[in-house]
Structure 1
Protein backbone atom coordinates (compact mmCIF):
# COMPACT_ATOMS: atom_id res chain seq x y z
CA UNK A 1 0.00 0.00 0.00
CA UNK A 2 1.36 3.43 -0.93
CA UNK A 3 1.97 5.63 2.09
CA UNK A 4 -0.07 8.80 1.99
CA UNK A 5 1.99 11.97 2.02
CA UNK A 6 1.47 14.15 5.07
CA UNK A 7 -0.43 17.37 4.45
CA UNK A 8 0.02 20.08 7.05
CA UNK A 9 -3.09 22.02 8.09
CA UNK A 10 -3.70 25.47 6.66
CA UNK A 11 -2.19 28.22 8.80
CA UNK A 12 -5.58 29.49 9.94
CA UNK A 13 -6.70 25.94 10.80
CA UNK A 14 -3.85 25.06 13.15
CA UNK A 15 -5.05 24.33 16.69
CA UNK A 16 -3.16 26.83 18.93
CA UNK A 17 -2.87 24.09 21.58
CA UNK A 18 -0.11 22.36 19.58
CA UNK A 19 2.23 25.26 20.31
CA UNK A 20 1.82 24.73 24.07
CA UNK A 21 3.13 21.13 24.08
CA UNK A 22 6.35 19.51 22.96
CA UNK A 23 7.96 19.58 20.55
CA UNK A 24 6.61 22.92 19.27
CA UNK A 25 6.53 24.42 22.79
CA UNK A 26 10.32 24.21 22.75
CA UNK A 27 10.40 26.71 19.87
CA UNK A 28 8.52 29.47 21.67
CA UNK A 29 11.17 32.08 20.84
CA UNK A 30 9.70 31.97 17.33
CA UNK A 31 6.08 32.31 18.42
CA UNK A 32 5.57 35.44 16.33
CA UNK A 33 6.49 33.50 13.21
CA UNK A 34 4.53 30.38 14.13
CA UNK A 35 1.37 31.78 15.69
CA UNK A 36 0.96 35.10 13.92
CA UNK A 37 -1.99 35.51 11.55
CA UNK A 38 0.27 36.06 8.54
CA UNK A 39 3.09 34.06 7.00
CA UNK A 40 6.49 35.63 7.73
CA UNK A 41 8.25 37.17 4.76
CA UNK A 42 11.61 35.84 3.61
CA UNK A 43 13.20 39.15 4.65
CA UNK A 44 11.85 38.64 8.18
CA UNK A 45 13.60 35.27 8.36
CA UNK A 46 16.86 36.75 7.12
CA UNK A 47 16.63 39.51 9.71
CA UNK A 48 16.88 36.85 12.44
CA UNK A 49 20.25 35.54 11.26
CA UNK A 50 22.70 36.18 14.09
CA UNK A 51 25.67 34.87 12.10
CA UNK A 52 26.39 36.78 8.90
CA UNK A 53 28.30 33.80 7.51
CA UNK A 54 25.13 31.72 7.59
CA UNK A 55 23.45 31.20 4.18
CA UNK A 56 20.51 33.47 3.38
CA UNK A 57 16.95 32.37 2.76
CA UNK A 58 15.74 32.99 -0.80
CA UNK A 59 12.24 32.60 -2.21
CA UNK A 60 12.05 29.42 -4.24
CA UNK A 61 10.76 30.64 -7.59
CA UNK A 62 11.50 30.00 -11.24
CA UNK A 63 14.27 32.61 -11.28
CA UNK A 64 16.07 30.94 -8.38
CA UNK A 65 15.73 27.43 -9.78
CA UNK A 66 16.93 28.52 -13.22
CA UNK A 67 20.52 28.08 -12.05
CA UNK A 68 20.00 24.32 -12.34
CA UNK A 69 21.83 23.64 -9.09
CA UNK A 70 20.95 20.90 -6.62
CA UNK A 71 19.36 22.29 -3.43
CA UNK A 72 22.45 21.44 -1.37
CA UNK A 73 24.88 22.77 -3.99
CA UNK A 74 23.07 26.12 -4.08
CA UNK A 75 23.55 26.48 -0.34
CA UNK A 76 27.26 25.63 -0.55
CA UNK A 77 28.12 27.58 -3.71
CA UNK A 78 25.75 30.56 -3.55
CA UNK A 79 24.88 30.80 0.12
CA UNK A 80 21.16 30.58 -0.67
CA UNK A 81 18.59 28.32 1.00
CA UNK A 82 15.67 27.81 -1.38
CA UNK A 83 12.55 28.47 0.73
CA UNK A 84 8.96 28.11 -0.40
CA UNK A 85 6.80 30.94 0.86
CA UNK A 86 3.62 30.20 2.82
CA UNK A 87 4.84 26.67 3.49
CA UNK A 88 5.09 25.04 6.92
CA UNK A 89 7.81 22.56 5.97
CA UNK A 90 10.16 25.25 4.70
CA UNK A 91 9.35 27.72 7.48
CA UNK A 92 10.25 25.11 10.10
CA UNK A 93 13.41 24.23 8.18
CA UNK A 94 14.32 27.92 8.35
CA UNK A 95 13.80 27.95 12.12
CA UNK A 96 16.13 24.96 12.52
CA UNK A 97 18.75 26.79 10.45
CA UNK A 98 18.38 29.82 12.74
CA UNK A 99 18.76 27.76 15.91
CA UNK A 100 21.38 25.26 14.71
CA UNK A 101 23.32 26.86 11.84
CA UNK A 102 26.53 24.94 12.59
CA UNK A 103 24.76 21.59 12.59
CA UNK A 104 22.83 22.37 9.39
CA UNK A 105 26.02 23.61 7.72
CA UNK A 106 27.86 20.39 8.65
CA UNK A 107 25.11 18.34 7.02
CA UNK A 108 25.25 20.53 3.94
CA UNK A 109 29.01 20.14 3.55
CA UNK A 110 28.78 16.38 3.83
CA UNK A 111 25.85 16.24 1.40
CA UNK A 112 27.78 18.25 -1.18
CA UNK A 113 30.77 15.94 -0.79
CA UNK A 114 28.53 12.95 -1.43
CA UNK A 115 26.89 14.61 -4.44
CA UNK A 116 30.37 15.18 -5.92
CA UNK A 117 31.14 11.51 -5.35
CA UNK A 118 27.83 9.98 -6.45
CA UNK A 119 26.43 12.53 -8.89
CA UNK A 120 23.10 14.36 -8.44
CA UNK A 121 20.89 11.41 -9.47
CA UNK A 122 22.14 8.72 -7.10
CA UNK A 123 22.25 8.67 -3.32
CA UNK A 124 24.71 7.00 -1.00
CA UNK A 125 23.97 5.46 2.37
CA UNK A 126 25.52 8.48 4.13
CA UNK A 127 23.15 10.72 2.15
CA UNK A 128 20.16 8.68 3.27
CA UNK A 129 21.37 8.84 6.88
CA UNK A 130 21.83 12.61 6.74
CA UNK A 131 18.46 13.16 5.07
CA UNK A 132 16.66 11.02 7.66
CA UNK A 133 18.29 13.03 10.44
CA UNK A 134 17.64 16.37 8.74
CA UNK A 135 13.94 15.58 8.36
CA UNK A 136 13.16 13.51 11.45
CA UNK A 137 16.24 13.75 13.65
CA UNK A 138 16.37 14.12 17.41
CA UNK A 139 19.32 14.52 19.74
CA UNK A 140 19.17 12.47 22.92
CA UNK A 141 21.18 13.21 26.04
CA UNK A 142 21.56 10.01 28.04
CA UNK A 143 22.79 10.33 31.62
CA UNK A 144 21.63 6.89 32.79
CA UNK A 145 23.20 4.08 30.71
CA UNK A 146 20.86 1.52 32.32
CA UNK A 147 18.03 2.88 30.17
CA UNK A 148 19.85 1.80 27.03
CA UNK A 149 19.05 -1.90 27.49
CA UNK A 150 15.32 -1.11 27.40
CA UNK A 151 15.74 0.95 24.25
CA UNK A 152 17.97 -1.68 22.60
CA UNK A 153 15.25 -4.29 23.15
CA UNK A 154 12.38 -2.00 22.07
CA UNK A 155 10.92 -2.47 25.53
CA UNK A 156 8.74 0.60 25.11
CA UNK A 157 6.60 -0.16 28.17
CA UNK A 158 9.77 -0.26 30.25
CA UNK A 159 11.36 2.83 28.71
CA UNK A 160 8.30 5.06 28.76
CA UNK A 161 6.16 3.69 31.61
CA UNK A 162 8.25 1.85 34.20
CA UNK A 163 11.02 4.44 33.75
CA UNK A 164 8.64 7.34 33.24
CA UNK A 165 10.43 9.36 35.93
CA UNK A 166 13.67 9.28 33.92
CA UNK A 167 12.09 11.58 31.32
CA UNK A 168 11.18 14.05 34.05
CA UNK A 169 14.32 14.06 36.19
CA UNK A 170 16.71 14.41 33.24
CA UNK A 171 18.29 10.96 33.17
CA UNK A 172 17.24 10.96 29.53
CA UNK A 173 16.23 14.02 27.54
CA UNK A 174 15.50 14.83 23.92
CA UNK A 175 15.41 17.83 21.61
CA UNK A 176 13.96 17.77 18.11
CA UNK A 177 16.13 18.77 15.17
CA UNK A 178 14.14 17.43 12.20
CA UNK A 179 11.86 19.99 10.61
CA UNK A 180 9.47 17.34 9.20
CA UNK A 181 8.87 16.12 12.75
CA UNK A 182 8.01 19.66 13.80
CA UNK A 183 5.65 19.94 10.84
CA UNK A 184 3.86 16.70 11.77
CA UNK A 185 3.42 18.06 15.30
CA UNK A 186 1.03 20.66 13.85
CA UNK A 187 -1.61 17.90 13.80
CA UNK A 188 -2.92 17.31 17.36
CA UNK A 189 -2.52 13.77 18.61
CA UNK A 190 -0.32 12.64 15.74
CA UNK A 191 2.04 9.83 16.76
CA UNK A 192 5.62 11.02 16.31
CA UNK A 193 8.71 8.85 15.88
CA UNK A 194 12.15 10.44 15.69
CA UNK A 195 15.45 9.20 14.28
CA UNK A 196 17.83 9.54 17.19
CA UNK A 197 21.51 10.20 17.70
CA UNK A 198 22.44 9.47 21.30
CA UNK A 199 25.13 11.14 23.38
CA UNK A 200 26.11 9.76 26.77
CA UNK A 201 26.50 12.85 28.92
CA UNK A 202 25.52 14.44 32.20
CA UNK A 203 22.29 16.31 32.76
CA UNK A 204 24.17 19.61 32.93
CA UNK A 205 25.38 19.52 29.30
CA UNK A 206 23.62 22.30 27.38
CA UNK A 207 21.85 21.51 24.12
CA UNK A 208 23.94 24.10 22.27
CA UNK A 209 27.12 22.31 23.34
CA UNK A 210 25.69 18.94 22.37
CA UNK A 211 24.61 20.26 18.96
CA UNK A 212 28.06 21.75 18.34
CA UNK A 213 29.77 18.47 19.26
CA UNK A 214 27.37 16.57 17.01
CA UNK A 215 28.10 18.95 14.13
CA UNK A 216 31.86 18.45 14.55
CA UNK A 217 31.49 14.67 14.40
CA UNK A 218 29.21 14.84 11.36
CA UNK A 219 31.68 17.13 9.60
CA UNK A 220 34.50 14.65 10.25
CA UNK A 221 32.44 11.75 8.95
CA UNK A 222 32.22 10.12 12.38
CA UNK A 223 28.42 10.19 12.49
CA UNK A 224 25.68 9.58 9.91
CA UNK A 225 27.60 7.29 7.60
CA UNK A 226 24.69 4.83 7.44
CA UNK A 227 20.94 5.04 8.21
CA UNK A 228 21.28 2.10 10.61
CA UNK A 229 23.11 4.40 13.04
CA UNK A 230 19.82 6.11 13.79
CA UNK A 231 17.67 4.68 16.56
CA UNK A 232 13.87 4.98 16.28
CA UNK A 233 12.45 6.88 19.24
CA UNK A 234 8.64 7.03 19.66
CA UNK A 235 8.41 10.59 20.94
CA UNK A 236 4.72 10.21 21.69
CA UNK A 237 5.64 8.02 24.66
CA UNK A 238 7.48 10.83 26.47
CA UNK A 239 5.44 12.36 29.32
CA UNK A 240 3.57 15.43 28.10
CA UNK A 241 4.12 14.72 24.42
CA UNK A 242 0.81 12.94 23.74
CA UNK A 243 -2.53 13.47 25.41
CA UNK A 244 -3.11 9.73 26.03
CA UNK A 245 0.28 8.53 27.26
CA UNK A 246 -0.59 9.09 30.92
CA UNK A 247 -2.43 5.76 30.82
CA UNK A 248 -0.44 2.51 30.99
CA UNK A 249 -2.52 0.96 28.20
CA UNK A 250 -1.04 3.46 25.74
CA UNK A 251 2.38 1.87 26.24
CA UNK A 252 1.16 -1.63 25.45
CA UNK A 253 -0.69 -1.19 22.15
CA UNK A 254 0.19 2.01 20.30
CA UNK A 255 1.12 1.83 16.58
CA UNK A 256 4.24 3.96 17.01
CA UNK A 257 5.72 1.22 19.24
CA UNK A 258 7.24 -1.23 16.80
CA UNK A 259 8.97 -4.50 17.80
CA UNK A 260 12.68 -4.97 17.27
CA UNK A 261 13.43 -6.46 13.87
CA UNK A 262 15.40 -9.74 13.99
CA UNK A 263 19.12 -9.04 13.79
CA UNK A 264 18.75 -5.29 14.32
CA UNK A 265 21.46 -3.82 16.52
CA UNK A 266 22.17 -0.21 17.43
CA UNK A 267 25.52 1.52 17.94
CA UNK A 268 26.40 2.65 21.45
CA UNK A 269 26.05 6.33 22.39
CA UNK A 270 29.00 8.46 21.38
Structure 2
Protein backbone atom coordinates (compact mmCIF):
# COMPACT_ATOMS: atom_id res chain seq x y z
CA UNK A 1 0.00 0.00 0.00
CA UNK A 2 1.38 3.39 -1.03
CA UNK A 3 2.00 5.74 1.87
CA UNK A 4 0.46 9.18 1.81
CA UNK A 5 3.07 11.91 1.58
CA UNK A 6 3.45 13.90 4.79
CA UNK A 7 5.21 17.24 4.45
CA UNK A 8 7.68 18.29 7.15
CA UNK A 9 6.81 20.93 9.71
CA UNK A 10 7.39 24.55 8.76
CA UNK A 11 9.91 24.99 11.55
CA UNK A 12 12.04 22.18 10.11
CA UNK A 13 12.72 24.10 6.90
CA UNK A 14 15.68 26.40 6.34
CA UNK A 15 16.23 29.22 3.87
CA UNK A 16 19.10 27.22 2.36
CA UNK A 17 16.69 24.47 1.35
CA UNK A 18 14.70 26.90 -0.77
CA UNK A 19 17.82 27.87 -2.72
CA UNK A 20 17.30 24.76 -4.87
CA UNK A 21 16.61 25.59 -8.56
CA UNK A 22 13.17 23.99 -8.27
CA UNK A 23 12.05 27.00 -6.21
CA UNK A 24 13.59 29.60 -8.52
CA UNK A 25 10.24 30.89 -9.78
CA UNK A 26 9.19 31.72 -6.21
CA UNK A 27 12.17 33.89 -5.30
CA UNK A 28 10.21 37.16 -5.30
CA UNK A 29 7.96 35.77 -2.55
CA UNK A 30 10.63 33.80 -0.70
CA UNK A 31 9.63 35.20 2.68
CA UNK A 32 6.19 33.55 2.41
CA UNK A 33 7.85 30.14 2.46
CA UNK A 34 10.95 30.58 4.60
CA UNK A 35 9.71 32.90 7.37
CA UNK A 36 8.86 31.28 10.73
CA UNK A 37 5.12 32.01 10.53
CA UNK A 38 2.51 30.79 8.07
CA UNK A 39 0.88 33.53 5.98
CA UNK A 40 -2.87 33.76 6.58
CA UNK A 41 -5.51 34.13 3.87
CA UNK A 42 -5.59 37.93 4.13
CA UNK A 43 -1.82 38.04 3.69
CA UNK A 44 -1.97 35.79 0.64
CA UNK A 45 -4.60 37.98 -1.00
CA UNK A 46 -2.64 41.14 -0.20
CA UNK A 47 0.71 39.80 -1.38
CA UNK A 48 -0.53 37.64 -4.28
CA UNK A 49 -3.37 39.66 -5.86
CA UNK A 50 -5.11 38.01 -8.79
CA UNK A 51 -7.22 39.94 -11.31
CA UNK A 52 -10.42 37.89 -11.03
CA UNK A 53 -9.88 35.41 -8.20
CA UNK A 54 -9.03 35.34 -4.53
CA UNK A 55 -7.92 32.79 -1.96
CA UNK A 56 -10.53 31.66 0.56
CA UNK A 57 -10.13 29.48 3.64
CA UNK A 58 -11.14 25.89 3.05
CA UNK A 59 -13.47 25.11 5.93
CA UNK A 60 -16.91 23.65 6.60
CA UNK A 61 -18.63 26.90 5.75
CA UNK A 62 -17.00 26.94 2.33
CA UNK A 63 -17.79 23.27 1.67
CA UNK A 64 -21.46 23.97 2.38
CA UNK A 65 -21.84 25.47 -1.09
CA UNK A 66 -21.50 21.94 -2.50
CA UNK A 67 -19.36 23.05 -5.42
CA UNK A 68 -16.60 20.96 -6.98
CA UNK A 69 -13.18 22.51 -6.31
CA UNK A 70 -12.58 23.44 -9.97
CA UNK A 71 -16.06 24.94 -10.41
CA UNK A 72 -15.52 27.10 -7.34
CA UNK A 73 -12.19 28.28 -8.75
CA UNK A 74 -13.97 29.20 -12.00
CA UNK A 75 -16.29 31.39 -9.92
CA UNK A 76 -13.30 33.20 -8.47
CA UNK A 77 -12.61 31.43 -5.17
CA UNK A 78 -9.53 29.26 -4.67
CA UNK A 79 -10.05 27.04 -1.62
CA UNK A 80 -6.87 27.15 0.47
CA UNK A 81 -6.11 25.20 3.62
CA UNK A 82 -4.33 27.19 6.34
CA UNK A 83 -0.84 26.13 7.45
CA UNK A 84 -0.54 23.77 4.50
CA UNK A 85 2.49 23.54 2.22
CA UNK A 86 0.59 22.05 -0.72
CA UNK A 87 -1.93 24.89 -0.83
CA UNK A 88 0.66 27.58 -0.15
CA UNK A 89 2.70 26.43 -3.14
CA UNK A 90 -0.49 26.33 -5.19
CA UNK A 91 -1.15 29.96 -4.27
CA UNK A 92 2.39 30.93 -5.24
CA UNK A 93 2.08 29.22 -8.63
CA UNK A 94 -1.22 31.04 -9.19
CA UNK A 95 0.58 34.31 -8.51
CA UNK A 96 3.48 33.45 -10.83
CA UNK A 97 1.47 31.92 -13.70
CA UNK A 98 -2.15 33.10 -13.36
CA UNK A 99 -2.97 32.76 -17.07
CA UNK A 100 -1.63 29.21 -17.19
CA UNK A 101 -3.48 28.18 -14.03
CA UNK A 102 -6.69 29.74 -15.37
CA UNK A 103 -6.30 27.78 -18.62
CA UNK A 104 -5.95 24.52 -16.68
CA UNK A 105 -9.03 25.36 -14.63
CA UNK A 106 -11.08 26.24 -17.72
CA UNK A 107 -10.26 22.89 -19.36
CA UNK A 108 -11.12 21.01 -16.17
CA UNK A 109 -14.48 22.75 -16.05
CA UNK A 110 -15.15 21.91 -19.68
CA UNK A 111 -14.66 18.21 -18.93
CA UNK A 112 -16.71 18.40 -15.72
CA UNK A 113 -19.58 19.90 -17.73
CA UNK A 114 -19.31 16.96 -20.12
CA UNK A 115 -18.69 14.11 -17.64
CA UNK A 116 -20.17 15.30 -14.36
CA UNK A 117 -18.26 15.32 -11.09
CA UNK A 118 -18.12 11.56 -10.53
CA UNK A 119 -16.17 10.49 -13.62
CA UNK A 120 -12.76 11.64 -14.83
CA UNK A 121 -11.54 11.10 -18.37
CA UNK A 122 -7.95 10.81 -19.56
CA UNK A 123 -7.71 14.53 -20.32
CA UNK A 124 -8.69 15.42 -16.76
CA UNK A 125 -6.03 13.04 -15.46
CA UNK A 126 -3.43 14.69 -17.69
CA UNK A 127 -4.51 18.17 -16.60
CA UNK A 128 -4.26 17.17 -12.94
CA UNK A 129 -0.87 15.51 -13.34
CA UNK A 130 0.52 18.62 -15.00
CA UNK A 131 -1.05 20.91 -12.39
CA UNK A 132 0.44 18.84 -9.56
CA UNK A 133 3.82 17.83 -11.03
CA UNK A 134 4.20 19.81 -14.23
CA UNK A 135 7.40 21.24 -15.66
CA UNK A 136 7.79 23.17 -18.92
CA UNK A 137 11.05 22.38 -20.72
CA UNK A 138 12.41 24.69 -23.41
CA UNK A 139 14.75 23.43 -26.16
CA UNK A 140 16.52 25.33 -28.93
CA UNK A 141 16.93 22.27 -31.14
CA UNK A 142 14.52 19.33 -31.26
CA UNK A 143 17.47 16.98 -31.81
CA UNK A 144 18.48 17.57 -28.19
CA UNK A 145 15.54 15.51 -26.92
CA UNK A 146 16.21 12.41 -29.01
CA UNK A 147 18.03 10.82 -26.07
CA UNK A 148 15.03 11.72 -23.90
CA UNK A 149 12.77 9.97 -26.40
CA UNK A 150 14.81 6.77 -25.77
CA UNK A 151 15.22 7.29 -22.01
CA UNK A 152 18.96 7.37 -22.63
CA UNK A 153 19.44 9.34 -19.46
CA UNK A 154 23.24 9.33 -19.40
CA UNK A 155 23.38 10.91 -22.85
CA UNK A 156 20.50 13.29 -22.17
CA UNK A 157 22.05 14.66 -18.99
CA UNK A 158 25.79 13.87 -18.90
CA UNK A 159 26.43 13.78 -22.63
CA UNK A 160 24.56 17.03 -23.16
CA UNK A 161 25.66 18.78 -19.98
CA UNK A 162 27.11 21.68 -21.93
CA UNK A 163 23.77 22.22 -23.65
CA UNK A 164 22.09 22.37 -20.23
CA UNK A 165 24.70 24.85 -19.01
CA UNK A 166 24.30 27.06 -22.12
CA UNK A 167 20.51 27.03 -21.92
CA UNK A 168 19.98 25.05 -25.13
CA UNK A 169 18.03 22.72 -22.83
CA UNK A 170 16.35 24.50 -19.93
CA UNK A 171 13.53 24.50 -17.43
CA UNK A 172 11.22 27.30 -18.55
CA UNK A 173 8.79 26.95 -15.64
CA UNK A 174 8.02 24.69 -12.69
CA UNK A 175 4.24 24.47 -12.44
CA UNK A 176 3.65 21.53 -10.11
CA UNK A 177 2.87 22.62 -6.58
CA UNK A 178 2.88 19.01 -5.33
CA UNK A 179 6.36 18.68 -6.79
CA UNK A 180 7.46 21.67 -4.73
CA UNK A 181 5.90 20.20 -1.61
CA UNK A 182 7.78 16.93 -2.06
CA UNK A 183 11.01 18.86 -2.60
CA UNK A 184 10.79 19.89 1.06
CA UNK A 185 12.39 16.49 1.72
CA UNK A 186 15.83 16.99 0.11
CA UNK A 187 16.56 13.27 -0.08
CA UNK A 188 13.47 12.68 -2.20
CA UNK A 189 14.27 12.12 -5.89
CA UNK A 190 11.56 13.81 -7.90
CA UNK A 191 10.15 13.26 -11.38
CA UNK A 192 8.48 16.11 -13.25
CA UNK A 193 5.72 15.57 -15.81
CA UNK A 194 6.79 17.66 -18.76
CA UNK A 195 5.57 19.51 -21.79
CA UNK A 196 8.29 20.62 -24.20
CA UNK A 197 8.47 23.78 -26.30
CA UNK A 198 10.87 24.61 -29.11
CA UNK A 199 11.88 28.19 -28.45
CA UNK A 200 14.22 30.75 -26.94
CA UNK A 201 12.49 32.59 -24.10
CA UNK A 202 10.82 31.17 -20.96
CA UNK A 203 7.89 33.61 -21.17
CA UNK A 204 7.19 32.65 -24.79
CA UNK A 205 7.37 28.98 -23.86
CA UNK A 206 4.77 29.40 -21.13
CA UNK A 207 2.52 31.38 -23.49
CA UNK A 208 2.77 28.59 -26.08
CA UNK A 209 1.70 26.02 -23.46
CA UNK A 210 -1.24 28.22 -22.45
CA UNK A 211 -2.39 28.42 -26.08
CA UNK A 212 -2.05 24.64 -26.48
CA UNK A 213 -4.08 23.96 -23.33
CA UNK A 214 -6.83 26.37 -24.37
CA UNK A 215 -7.05 24.76 -27.81
CA UNK A 216 -7.05 21.21 -26.45
CA UNK A 217 -3.77 20.66 -28.30
CA UNK A 218 -1.99 19.42 -25.18
CA UNK A 219 -2.88 17.45 -22.06
CA UNK A 220 -5.40 15.13 -23.67
CA UNK A 221 -3.80 12.02 -22.16
CA UNK A 222 -1.25 11.43 -19.38
CA UNK A 223 0.89 9.51 -21.88
CA UNK A 224 1.70 12.79 -23.59
CA UNK A 225 3.62 14.00 -20.53
CA UNK A 226 7.33 13.21 -20.54
CA UNK A 227 8.81 12.03 -17.22
CA UNK A 228 11.90 14.00 -16.24
CA UNK A 229 14.04 12.74 -13.32
CA UNK A 230 14.93 16.19 -12.00
CA UNK A 231 17.96 15.02 -10.01
CA UNK A 232 19.63 14.26 -13.34
CA UNK A 233 19.75 17.88 -14.50
CA UNK A 234 23.37 19.05 -14.29
CA UNK A 235 23.85 20.91 -11.01
CA UNK A 236 20.55 19.79 -9.47
CA UNK A 237 21.98 16.95 -7.36
CA UNK A 238 25.37 16.46 -5.65
CA UNK A 239 25.76 12.92 -7.05
CA UNK A 240 25.86 12.86 -10.83
CA UNK A 241 28.51 10.28 -11.72
CA UNK A 242 27.89 7.46 -14.20
CA UNK A 243 26.71 5.05 -11.49
CA UNK A 244 24.06 7.55 -10.42
CA UNK A 245 22.50 7.66 -13.88
CA UNK A 246 22.58 3.85 -14.02
CA UNK A 247 20.02 3.54 -11.18
CA UNK A 248 17.11 2.10 -13.13
CA UNK A 249 14.67 2.44 -10.24
CA UNK A 250 14.83 6.21 -10.74
CA UNK A 251 16.18 6.67 -14.27
CA UNK A 252 13.71 4.23 -15.68
CA UNK A 253 14.03 2.55 -19.08
CA UNK A 254 11.54 3.33 -21.81
CA UNK A 255 8.41 1.25 -21.62
CA UNK A 256 7.82 -0.78 -24.75
CA UNK A 257 5.56 1.04 -27.18
CA UNK A 258 5.85 4.41 -25.40
CA UNK A 259 6.19 7.29 -27.86
CA UNK A 260 6.26 10.95 -26.86
CA UNK A 261 4.84 13.87 -28.85
CA UNK A 262 7.29 16.25 -30.53
CA UNK A 263 7.94 19.63 -28.89
CA UNK A 264 5.42 22.37 -29.47
CA UNK A 265 6.62 25.05 -31.86
TM-score range, shorter chain: over 0.9
Query: Which residue of 122, 126, 130 maps to 1:129?
Result: 126
How far off is 1:213 after superposition?
2.2
Q: Residue 201 of structure 1: which of 199, 202, 219 is its match?
A: 199
CA–CA distance in structure 2, aligned partners of residues 16 and 244 of structure 1: 22
Deviates more, 1:142-151 or 1:97-106: 142-151
Look up the match of 1:117: 114
- Whole-Å Cα distance in 1 between the matches of residues 22 and 40 of structure 2? 24
In the aligned structure 1, how far is the partner of 2:174 from the partner of 2:90?
12
SS in structure 2 opposite 1:253? coil
Partner Cα distance (1:113, 1:263) in 2? 30
Distance 1:267 1:52 in 2: 34
* Aligned-residue offset at 1:18: 1.6
Structure 1 residue matching 2:21: 3-state secondary structure: coil
More displaced, 235-244 or 55-64? Answer: 235-244
CA distance in 2, matches of 1:199, 1:220: 16
**Deviation for aligned residue 1:223:** 1.0
Q: How far, CA to CA, are the matches of 1:145 and 1:42 in structure 2?
A: 43
Task: Give the stretch that moved more between structures: 32-41 or 43-52.
Answer: 43-52
Instruction: Return the offset for 1:51.
Output: 4.1
Q: Is 1:182 matched with 2:180?
A: yes
Q: Is the 1:189–1:242 Cα contact (8 Å) retained in structure 2?
A: no
**Cross-structure match for 2:58:** 60
Report SS of the residue matched to 1:222.
coil
Q: For the Cα contact (< 8 Å) 1:137–1:178, is it kept in 2?
A: yes
Structure 1 residue 243: Cα displacement: 2.1
What displacement does 1:114 show? 0.3
Superposed CA RMSD: 1.3
Q: For 2:90 and 2:189, locate their aligned partners in 1 and report how far apart those are by CA, in whole Å.
A: 20
User: Would you say 1:37 and 2:36 are equivalent positions?
Assistant: yes
Give the conservation status (yes or no) of the 8 Å contact 1:192–1:236.
yes
Equivalent residues of 2:14, 2:34 under 8 A apart: no
Structure 1 runs not aligned, ≥5 long: none
Please name the residue that 1:159 is paired with: 156
Say yes or no: does 1:141 pair with 2:141. no
8 Å contact kept, 1:189–1:243 = no
Greater alpha carbon shift after TM alignment, 251-260 vs 133-142: 251-260
| TM-score, length-scaled by structure 2 | 0.96
Q: How far apart are the structure 1 equivalents of 2:236 and 2:192? A: 13
For 1:92, the equivalent position in structure 2 comes to 89
Q: Offset at 1:49?
A: 3.6
Q: Which runs of 4+ in 1 moved over 3 A?
A: none
- 1:250 correspondence with 2:244: yes
Question: What are the Cα deviations for residues 156-187 of structure 1, in whole angstroms up to 9, with x where unaligned?
Answer: 01111111111111110013110011111111
- Counterparts of 1:77-88 in structure 2 under 5 Å? 77=75, 79-88=76-85
